[in-house]
A and B are shown apart, each in its own frame.
Chain A
Amino acid sequence: MDFSNSEESTIIRDNIKKLLGNYSSNDYLLKYDEYKLDLELFKELKQGGYLFDLESKNPFNLEFFLIVCEELGYSNATFDPTQCISDVAMTLSESNTEIAKSALKKLFSEDDYIFSSALVEPLNYDIESPSLIGKITGERYCLTGKKIFSYAADQASCMLISFICDDGIKLALIDPRLCNVRHTSNTTSKPYFEISFSNFDISQDQIINGDKNGLDILKDISAKKILIQASYAKGITNRMIELTSEYTSAREQFGRPIGSFQAVAHRAANAFISNQVLDLNLKHVTYKYLNNNECENELLNLKYILGNTLHEISYTAQHLHGGMGVAKEYPLWRYCLEAKEFELMNGNSKSALAKLSQNLTSNQ
């Protein structure tokens, strides 16, 4: 058994921390409060080798990407590479289709080139069951339906979508500039877009399934999404706990630090325990996933835990901060909004629990 981090991962963490330090001061973040999209940071992450490493045999390293995501969550960074790298680029790297190879080439060679994904649908908690319909007409598909929470769709040159047709689930690359794209205002001010399809026509050579089953591809995207969300969650909760500890140690009432009251200390200790539980489960599932071990139930459990933990720690931190917890002059509020987003994105704790319970009781 070994719970330690490798030297390489420690170096990556230190370096990304240093880089993000330049992008996360309160003054810097203020500039993005209305619209949180920082393409400069994206370029810097790309050039710094934090998103992929072209010198390596496999340019994508999920283990290191998870560290980057944790630090992005911790710093409340102004760019989220999840859709571009994990949903799309990592998926394309597994596809043997021409369109996938050519799109990846552009991502690697053009600084501004960015991918977006459109996998989430309104009131559909499960990205593995898309309801966007693709009607087969000869060699083509005609799409009708809606996707939401597509990140930076207005900047992307290429977008991965999922749909269902008579042949099963398909994934395709499209040019979002040809779609009906609408910005959706949201609590974290991230650049999320709604994509509407009405008889939208795509050709067979835009499909990236290759010899793979569409459901299997979505299952893998979904698994990585959970690991990434949990990594973000870990960064967010780490920072919220840190802020809480600092604040309750410094803030005095009745002549002593409020952290010396057991009622305060114990609530903080509970948050600490929940955070450790999240961390341990994340490490365990990451280990299993990276070693190709079956881990569907462990992933669902992680999803369940991450939602609960984000909710618990967010409210604990706000409560123990008192008014400062909600004041915009203090950084906590941003983390609380991020926490809620990650809690609800791509299914929630309860939907994960329901799926987990189904697996446990039907696997007898």
Chain B
Amino acid sequence: MKIELNKKQESLKQELREYFTSMMTSSLTKELSDDKYFEGGGPEFRKTLKQIGKDGWIGLSWPKEFGGKEFTPTEQYIFVEEVMRTGFPFPFLTTESVGPMIVKFGSEWAKENIATGILNGDIIFAIGYSEPNSGTDLASLQTRAIEKNNGYLINGQKIWTSLANYADYVWLATRTNDEVKKHKGISIFIVPTDDKGFKYTPIKTLGDVTTNSTFYEDVYVPKQNLVGNIDEGWNLITSQLNLERLALVNHGPVDQMFQELLLLINDTKLSDGTNLSEVDWVKRNVANIYSGLESLKLICWKLVWGMENENLSMTDASMAKIYGSEFFIEAYRQMMEILGEIAILKKDDLSIMNSKLERMYRTASILTFGGGTNEVQRDIIAMAGLFMPRSR
């Protein structure tokens, strides 16, 4: 048993912290504080991503022969943690979920053009999975791809296609076979967003995060855009979910805010002159957040350790997703309680911590249902962890 980062990992952490701090130039910070660009897609974001690609920080998990770094899961986790601490909207799904699968299962064209583009920071993907009537029951999806003229013709609608408003391609899950069980007849295509049959309409959300409905009307893609074998896309979908779940609940961003909060409460006096850090219930909230953070960090570390040893437990992944997403909501609540009503001020002279807290709080609830709703994760734990009968 050895539950701590080793020297190499600690030094990677330090290197990344310094690197990404230097990346956050004032012009990039200014762009990311704009509601239109805080999720990325702006010119400064594009420029920075290219630079990150040039500096070799994209393709962490990719094989070295494809220009990747072959980072271990722990190193990948550290990378995600450090990037998220800065607030840079790094396109992890593109670089760490889509990219490695293209390298492994994509056509020669996809490997040469798309994978290289991702590594260079030129290409960003949106993920097209959910549909209006296929959310938690994703395998019931109905967007269709029909073989035609040595390629495929795609028709259908997706929802919650985040980043589609500026992405270059959609990683699209389609139905290609109705004659087999629903999980078996699904295929994945690389769909360019500049196709004339592709359209999107933005959906504004509570947290000011923009997601999209995307529409596919007679979108034609050649066979080279198919990833893996026809009808075998379900495995490509599920294999990236555990990684996605882990990235979603990385403890870095909340820890960063917690450290900022500790400094703040020590320097802040209430109107009666009492230091905020001396108030009993404030101290209690601080300790509660610390306790949750410690546990979340350990849950995530155990998960990456499991991945590293090819012993990834489905139960651990589900547990991380539930614990992290529900802890975030509680942590933000308790931090906001400490700061009182000024915690809800948006970019005002009085606002604190650069309004990060109020924004994080507004986006937190997405995680309890996004990436596999927590009810289904609990079903998984009951079945795979407790060996209870399947829920009906």
Q: Which residues on A sit within 8 Å (CB–CB) of B391? A: 260-262, 265
Also in contact, A1 and B305, with CB within 8 A (given A280-B298, A360-B262)? yes
CB within 8 Å of B: which of A252-274? 256-257, 259-262, 264-266, 268-270, 272-273
Distance from A14 Cβ to chain B, minimum over Cβ atoms (Å): 17
B295–A269 CB distance below 8 A? no
Contact partner of B3 among A257, A261, A272, A287, CB < 8 A?
Answer: A287
Q: Which residues on B sit within 8 Å (CB–CB) of A262? A: 375, 378-379, 391
Q: Does B181 contact A (CB under 8 A)?
A: no
A interface footprint on B270-310 (CB within 8 Å = 1, 0 otherwise)? 00000001101011101110110011001101101110110
Distance from A50 Cβ to chain B, minimum over Cβ atoms (Å): 20
Taken together as a complex, chains A and B put the C-alpha atoms of A261 and B305 apart, in Å, by 33
Q: Does A137 contact B (CB under 8 A)?
A: no
26 contacts between A and B (CB under 8 A): A1-B5, A1-B74, A256-B392, A259-B388, A260-B390, A262-B379, A265-B379, A265-B383, A265-B391, A268-B382, A273-B381, A276-B319, A277-B299, A277-B323, A280-B295, A280-B302, A281-B294, A283-B3, A284-B298, A287-B1, A287-B3, A353-B287, A353-B291, A357-B283, A357-B287, A361-B266
A interface footprint on B1-31 (CB within 8 Å = 1, 0 otherwise)? 1111110000000000000000000000000
Q: Does B103 contact A (CB under 8 A)?
A: no
B301–A1 CB distance below 8 A? yes
Q: Does B265 contact A (CB under 8 A)?
A: yes
Q: Which residues on B sit within 8 Å (CB–CB) of A211? A: none
A1–B319 CB distance below 8 A? no
Partner-B contacts on A (CB < 8 A): 1-6, 241, 244-245, 248-249, 256-257, 259-262, 264-266, 268-270, 272-273, 276-277, 280-281, 283-284, 286-288, 297-298, 301, 304-305, 353-354, 356-358, 360-362, 364
Distance from A261 Cβ to chain B, minimum over Cβ atoms (Å): 7
Taken together as a complex, chains A and B put the C-alpha atoms of A41 and B305 apart, in Å, by 38
Taken together as a complex, chains A and B put the C-alpha atoms of A265 and B2 apart, in Å, by 33
Q: Which residues on B sit within 8 Å (CB–CB) of A266? A: 375, 378-379, 382
Q: Closest 5 interchain pairs by CB?
A: A357-B283, A357-B287, A265-B382, A259-B388, A269-B378
CB within 8 Å of A: which of B355-392? 375, 377-379, 381-383, 385-392
Also in contact, A280 and B389, with CB within 8 A (given A297-B290, A360-B286)? no
Q: Which residues on A sit within 8 Å (CB–CB) of B49? A: none
A2–B385 CB distance below 8 A? no
Interface contacts (Cβ under 8 Å), in number, total 155
Q: Does B322 contact A (CB under 8 A)?
A: yes
Q: Does B263 contact A (CB under 8 A)?
A: yes
Q: Which residues on A sit within 8 Å (CB–CB) of B282? A: 361
A270–B2 CB distance below 8 A? no
Q: Which residues on A sit within 8 Å (CB–CB) of B294? A: 281, 284, 298, 301
Taken together as a complex, chains A and B put the C-alpha atoms of A268 and B378 apart, in Å, by 9
A interface footprint on B140-162 (CB within 8 Å = 1, 0 otherwise)? 00000000000000000000000
Nearest CB in chain A to that of B276: its residue: A361
A361–B283 CB distance below 8 A? yes
A305–B262 CB distance below 8 A? no
Partner-A contacts on B (CB < 8 A): 1-6, 74, 262-263, 265-266, 277-278, 280, 282-284, 286-288, 290-291, 294-295, 298-299, 301-302, 304-306, 308-309, 315-316, 319, 322-323, 375, 377-379, 381-383, 385-392
Q: Which residues on A sit within 8 Å (CB–CB) of B266? A: 361, 364
A249–B375 CB distance below 8 A? no
Nearest CB in chain A to that of B73: its residue: A1
A1–B6 CB distance below 8 A? yes
Q: Which residues on A sit within 8 Å (CB–CB) of B382? A: 259, 265-266, 268-269, 272
Nearest CB in chain B to that of A362: its residue: B277
Contact partner of A276 among B290, B299, B305, CB < 8 A?
Answer: B299
Q: Which residues on A sit within 8 Å (CB–CB) of B6? A: 1
Distance from B298 Cβ to chain A, minimum over Cβ atoms (Å): 4
Q: Which residues on B sit within 8 Å (CB–CB) of A361? A: 262, 265-266, 277-278, 282-283, 286
Taken together as a complex, chains A and B put the C-alpha atoms of A360 and B308 apart, in Å, by 33
Contact partner of B387 among A245, A256, A297, CB < 8 A?
Answer: A245
Taken together as a complex, chains A and B put the C-alpha atoms of A189 and B366 apart, in Å, by 49
Nearest CB in chain B to that of A273: its residue: B319
Nearest CB in chain B to that of A241: its residue: B386
Distance from A296 Cβ to chain B, minimum over Cβ atoms (Å): 12
Taken together as a complex, chains A and B put the C-alpha atoms of A12 and B263 apart, in Å, by 46
Taken together as a complex, chains A and B put the C-alpha atoms of A259 and B173 apart, in Å, by 34
Q: Which residues on B sit within 8 Å (CB–CB) of A244? A: 386
Distance from B334 Cβ to chain A, minimum over Cβ atoms (Å): 12
A3–B302 CB distance below 8 A? yes
Contact partner of A272 among B298, B385, B390, B392, CB < 8 A?
Answer: B385
A3–B288 CB distance below 8 A? no
B284–A304 CB distance below 8 A? no
Taken together as a complex, chains A and B put the C-alpha atoms of A264 and B390 apart, in Å, by 11
B298–A249 CB distance below 8 A? no
Taken together as a complex, chains A and B put the C-alpha atoms of A280 and B288 apart, in Å, by 17
B378–A270 CB distance below 8 A? yes
Contact partner of A249 among B277, B308, B385, B387, CB < 8 A?
Answer: B387
A353–B389 CB distance below 8 A? no
Q: Which residues on B sit within 8 Å (CB–CB) of A358? A: 283
Distance from B24 Cβ to chain A, minimum over Cβ atoms (Å): 25
A257–B287 CB distance below 8 A? no
A283–B287 CB distance below 8 A? no
Contact partner of A360 among B2, B4, B290, B383, CB < 8 A?
Answer: B290
Taken together as a complex, chains A and B put the C-alpha atoms of A29 and B95 apart, in Å, by 58
Q: Which one of B6, B265, B290 has the highest number of Cβ atoms from chain A below 10 Å of its Cβ?
A: B290
Nearest CB in chain B to that of A298: its residue: B294
